[in-house]
Structure formats: C-alpha cells, structure tokens
A and B are shown apart, each in its own frame.
Chain A
Amino acid sequence: MAEQSEKSHVDLNQLKAGGFIKELGKDLFSVRLRVPGGRMAVSCLKKIVEVAEKYGGEFVHLSVRQSIELVHVNFKHIGDVAEELGMVRQKVASCGARVRVPVACGGCEYNPKGLMDTQKSALEIDAKLFGTETGHHKFKVAFAGCSSDCPKSATNDVGFQGAVLPVLDKDACVGCGLCIKTCTVDAIRTGEDDKPVFAPERCIYCGDCIKICPTEAWKAGKRGYTVRIGGKWGRNPLVGTLFATFLPEEKVADFISAVLAWYRKNSEGLGRIRLGDVIIRQGTEGLLSDLRNKFPQHAVEATIPPQVIDTQIGKRP
C-alpha cells in the first residue's frame, strides 16, 4: 500500500507550467529552477544543494539563462523536490510557449559600469509576467545594465539595455580633456575654447563621460532603457532592432505587456512562431505605432525589421 501511494504522489499541476524537462533516461527529469537575473541567496543555495543531494544526480547544470538545473530527478520525486525547495521559497522555472525567467547582469548596486538597476527590473518582470502563455512560442526578456550588454539583450524577444544621455554644464567644466579621451565613439570633440563639444547623434549613451568627469560637469540628462525587439537565436537567428529609447524602469512591465498583446493578435493562425518572425511578416509599423500610442515619449520615429544572421548552414524558409 505504501508503495502504491508513493507512486501516485505526482501533482500534475506541478508539471503544467513546465520547468520539469524529460531526460533521456527512463523516469528521469531535469528540474529547472527559477532564478530571475541569476541572483541566488546563499541561504537558498544551501537548500538547493541539500535537495540535489537527496533527489538529484552528482552534479547540477548551470543553464545558459542563469538557472540552476537539478538533473536525474525521478518523476515520483517531482512533488517532493518542489515542496522542499518551497521551504526557502525557491520556485521551479518554465519551459514551452511562455514568458520565461528574465536574464539580467549584476546591475548597478556594486558594478561601477551599471546604469540601471537590472536586478530590480528582472525581479519585477518575473513577478508580473513569468509563465504567461503566449499562445505561440517562447518569449524571452533580458536586462543589460550598460553598453557592454553582457546579457546580449538584442538576441531576446524584448531586450533592455541601460542608457544615459549626457548633458554638459559648461561653467563647471575645467577643460581637462578626460571626457574627450574616454569617449570611444567620437561623440565628444575639442571645441575652440578647449572645452568639449557634444555630437549627440554619435552618442551610444554609455555614460563614460559622466563617470570620468572630475568636476561633475557632465550630468545625466535622462536615464532609462534602450529597447530592442524581435531577437532570437537558435535555428534561424535574428538580432532585435530599436523600438524605444530611455524607457524608465516603471514602464517596463507595461511595455512588455503591450508587445505581448501585439504578438498574440498578429500571430493568429501562424502557429508556433517567434515574435521576430511575425515582425518580419507584418512589417515594423504596426507594432511601432501601437507602442508610439502607448509610449509617445519613448518609441522611436522609425525602425527596421529584425536582422537576419546568416549562419551559412541551410536556407532560410
């Protein structure tokens, strides 16, 4: 009898949102944990080690999207794994046609390059949108804190990159030349009075001039996320293109929701298709005008479709 009850101790609801991934071996699953932004409390990590030792294999796998995956978990222990991880509020992630766990860099709390609090954004989006069914395909979001873009934001369905617009207070400038030297894109040149002249059209909003300026003459005019849409990797890679600039953090969730709404509406009848491929089919103007209506201060004037990366293998359909 005891054996009987152990066998049936599998809560199918646990399997619904995904995150339990069938392995090659009979009865074995990988359990993908939900780790928004890749930040893991050390106390939580201890519990994960405990659960992995009890139910998993001899190693865990660090996924490419910042998750810890327990391997070789027998399906009859799926409920126990979820329950015991629940003691430290560690949740299981998702797979399938859903909004995935957001990826983020370390952010700006301790990284000197960080311009935006990507950890805060990742947590917020995870809380509000994680697991949302798209009806079509997976949907990935990533947050990069600065122009280094370590998370490769443009390879996501919606990718965010921290940005700051520099503004010069000429009276506070002592003409030391540090900003001119530090600017790698030639957006600051020496003027006739030896003071810097700003060429905003060349600026990539990295904020290096603000960080180097010894007299605080360069200040942040505005700060927010550069937003690229329609990226993906996999079989037919696309690089996402620019749809918004200086989007403030408090508008990120609404922005992603608006993109999701357009995606759902415009993918009807197209089956399992990623956002970038829908944009290529429908053109950029529909999505851009939706975003322009809802985010007039931030949507760009015009953009280009997601850009195809030629992997030189096969022919793109």
Chain B
Amino acid sequence: MHTVDLRGVCCPANFVRAKLALEEFETGEGVRILLDDGEAVKNVPRSLKAEGHHLVSLKETPEGYFILDLKKGED
C-alpha cells in the first residue's frame, strides 16, 4: 500500500497535501496516511470522508502517531 506521511504538517495544509496526493491514485486503491495526534487526526479523516473517500481504519502507534487507511473514492 502507498503511504503518505503527513506527520509534522499542520492543518489545513495536511488536508490539502492529502488531497493532492490522492489525485495520483485510482478510485478504489488503498492508501495509508500517517497523521499526528491532536487537530490533525481529528480533522483530516473527517474532511477526507466528506470528499468521498472510504475510511477503512485508524490505528494509534506506540510512537503516538496515527495510521489512517482508506480507499480512494470517485474523482
């Protein structure tokens, strides 16, 4: 699975970066996004869902960041 690392990128730049990154993939393709705790993990998944992507799971790592897996929605 492709990974987009958005750790260290703040809101709303992280969402815009995720959106741009997702343009490179095909509908239905799985993409993994790494997010910081706090504002990022609270806002980015919700915004990506509103854009039509399918959220699959969100897991916290022992290091304290989050792994969001999603499938790309329709363009």
Contact = CB atoms under 8 A, between A and B. Distances in A.
Bind each other: yes
A161 B66 CA distance: 32
Contacts of B56: 176, 214
Interface residues of B, number: 15
A182 B49 CA distance: 13
Contact of B46 (A176, A177, A182): A182
Contact of B49 (A174, A181, A184, A214): A214
B74 to A, nearest CB: 15
A217 to B, nearest CB: 12
Nearest to B58: A178
A187 to B, nearest CB: 15
Interface residues of A, number: 12
Interface in B36-75: 41-42, 45-47, 49-50, 54-60, 66
B42 A214 contact: no
A112 interface: yes
A277 interface: no
A181 B50 contact: no
Given A176-B56, A214-B54, A214-B55, A181 B66 contact: yes
A211 B58 contact: no
A178 B42 CA distance: 9
Given A182-B42, A212-B45, A177 B58 contact: yes
A133 interface: no
A181 B40 CA distance: 11
B3 to A, nearest CB: 18
Given A211-B49, A214-B49, A177 B57 contact: yes
Contacts of B46: 112, 182, 208, 211-212
